[in-house]
Amino acid sequence: MVNGRKISAIEATLPSILELSKSNLLASLEALDQPKYRAEQVWRAIYKEGRTSFGQMTNLSKDLRGILAQNYSIGNAATVISKKSADNSTDKILFKLPDGELIETVLMRYEPDGHRRGRKTVCVSTQAGCALGCTFCATGQQGFRRNLTAGEITEQVLTMERLALAEDKEEIQAGTRSRGELQGVTNVVFMGMGEPLANYENMMESIWVLNDPKGIGIGARHITVSTVGLVPGIEKLAKENIQINLAVSLHAPDNETRSETMPVNKRYPIEELIEACKYFVTKTNRRIFIEYVLLKDQNDTSMHANKLGRILKDLLCHVNLIPVNPTDDGPYHRTTYKEAQRFQSDLKTFNVPSTVRMEKGIDIDAGCGQLRDRALALTE
């Protein structure tokens, strides 16, 4: 199944039209002697209207629809496993790419909380596997396979957008959502499998597609890129002409502790990373989200909290404290909510704002790389 439908063997081997930028799509159609507005029509049909076949694009001529269908597919990631959490807040899909690689995508639903409207966030992968080897991460334990293309990144969001919009329509019919209030995906976070800044060009190309107001139209401030701390990538991202968010996976307040769980720290130690973060804030005037996975007895004591407060007190940031999603092969246990609150209280003495974020979808292996592990275990 691709995009929720069966495809032929021939269609499965065709290149994905999602790999074409808008300018390349225009050039391809001009080569077929098509007027420029046809590119806009195809672009809108795919990214705004969510069409999954060229046959559905009835505003195009029959001949053009046939030519496109002979030369392209609209995505080619096949759904292997689709799971929903018991509380219906989270969906996770394991996709199989044409070369056999497996990647994961998560859709998370958040109810209105008094400060923000309800939202639907897609967590996308940027690589098959990861080369950075963080010891508490299921993906890091799998090793690096390859970078994803821009189209493969974008396709994850398109698939979840169709799911989100279908839910909206069902709620409208049931009378639990106002008629005409189609929300779809509201946020995208690059926090799935892989290191986004290690696949920089494809990541940015996908962001421009997702941000395009003539497509899905995800606002820049609703897009977040997460990194383990690749300093050159952070500095490069700071210079991009788009107001996206940056999240930095810190996970320890000193080099010794951080190097035990995050090998990248030996290349870019905390001092260099914090300076890069300050540079990002100076260039963009945007606060940084500090991701801090709490590992019981490894980085979650009052001593660690006080160290963290001291290094972050002069940085415009917000800390997300995240009790770890344990993995089968991982050595770490989950910090209790009470312990996480104590850590948060210690941070507050340094005027460092923070939130304890309980992970969604634990019952469906929603942690990065966990569903892939489960699927591979079943085939061994």
Q: Given a cut of 70, is residue 10 above it in pLDDT?
A: no
Question: Is there a domain that residue 3 lies in?
Answer: no
Beta pairing class for 119-123 and 187-190: parallel
pTM of the predicted structure, to 2 decimals: 0.89
Structural domain containing residue 33: 9-71
57 and 173 share one domain = no
Convert 22-31 to b/e letters by CB count within 10 Å (16 or more is b). Answer: beebbebbee
Winning range, highest mean pLDDT, from 48-57, 135-144, 169-178: 48-57
- Report the alpha-carbon distance of residue 35 to residue 305 in Å, rounded: 61
Examine the domain organization and report whether 175 and 237 are in the same domain: yes
Q: What is the pLDDT, as a whole number, of residue 330?
A: 57
Kindly provide the b/e burial profile for residues 84-111, where b requires at least 16 CB atoms within 10 angstroms of the residue's own CB: ebeeeebbbbbbbbeeebbbbbbbbbee
Which residues, including other chains, have CB under 8 Å from residue 322's CB and lie 6 or more apart? 291, 292, 293, 294, 357, 359
- In this structure, what DSSP letter does residue 57 have? -
> For the residues 18-46, what does the mean pLDDT come to?
95
pLDDT at 222: 96
Q: What is the pLDDT of residues 24-37, one digit of tens each?
A: 999 999 998 999 99
Which pLDDT tens digit goes with each residue over 321-376? 988 776 555 577 888 889 999 999 999 999 999 999 866 655 545 455 444 444 33
For residues 150 and 206, the answer to whether their CB atoms sit within 8 Å is: yes
Same domain, 132 and 256: yes
Contact (CB, 8 A) for 258 and 280: no
Q: How far apart are CA 142 and CA 222, in angstroms?
A: 30
pLDDT at 204: 98
Question: What is the distance between the alpha carbons of residues 326 and 347, in angstroms, rounded to a whole number?
Answer: 24
The pLDDT value given to residue 379: 33
Q: Using an 8 Å Cβ cutoff, are 50 and 165 in contact?
A: yes
Going by pLDDT thresholds of 50, 70 and 90, the confidence category of residue 1 is low
The two tokens of residue 292 are 């801090």
Angle at 53 between CA 52 and CA 56, to 5 degrees: 105
In a domain, 175, yes or no: yes
Task: Flag whether 2 is in a domain.
Answer: no
Number of domains in the chain: 2
Alpha helices (H) in the chain, listed in sequence order: 9-13, 22-30, 36-47, 62-71, 150-174, 200-211, 231-238, 255-261, 270-284, 302-312, 337-348, 370-379
Q: How far apart are CA 169 and CA 245, in angstroms?
A: 30
Which tokens in the block code for residue 287?
């606060």
Across the chain, what does the average pLDDT equal?
Answer: 88
CATH for 30: 1.10.150.530
In this predicted structure, what is the pLDDT of residue 32?
Answer: 87
Residue 148 and residue 13 share a domain? no
User: What is the arithmetic mean of pLDDT over 169-191?
Assistant: 85
Mean pLDDT value across residues 236-260: 95
Q: For residue 1, is it within any domain?
A: no
Query: Residue 132's pLDDT is what?
Result: 81
Which sequence positions are flagged as catalytic? Answer: 104, 368
Structural domain ending residue among the three candidates 39, 55, 71 = 71
CATH label of the domain that carries residue 158: 3.20.20.70
Gap between the Cα atoms of 310 and 27, Å rounded: 54
